[in-house]
Amino acid sequence: MRARSEARNTAAFAVSEITAGTFKKLRLAILEIIWSFVTFILLARASIVCWMVRLSVLAVRHPPQSGWLSEWGRLKGGCPGGSVVALKRAFGL
């Protein structure tokens, strides 16, 4: 009877060792999968940002059909109060 219980305990211990080893490998595999996923996300994000920067650098602003300059050769759409500031400086107002 005693031999059977020792055999049973030995078998149970062996099974628990195998199970523990399997779970340890599984845990490491899960960590590796998570790490590879995080690395992939970071690289994809960096690639997207890089492409956005490239596209923004290549973007060209085209002039409107009426052109950039007014009749007098000045840029259109400038600051409306710019001439007032220049007059105040010129005349000390």
Domain boundaries, given as residue ranges, for the chain: 1-61
Find which of 48-52, 64-68, 79-83 is predicted with most confidence, using mean pLDDT: 48-52
The tokens describing 74, both together, are 């000045």
Tell me which amino acid residue 12 is.
A
pLDDT tens string 1-33: 566 677 666 766 677 777 777 888 888 888 999
Tell me which amino acid residue 82 is.
G
User: Which is nearest to 76 in space by CA: 66, 62, 86?
Assistant: 66
67: left (phi over 0), alpha (psi -120 to 50) or beta: left
Whether the predicted pLDDT of 34 surpasses 90: yes
Report pTM. 0.41
Whether the predicted pLDDT of 57 surpasses 90: no
pLDDT for res 85: 57
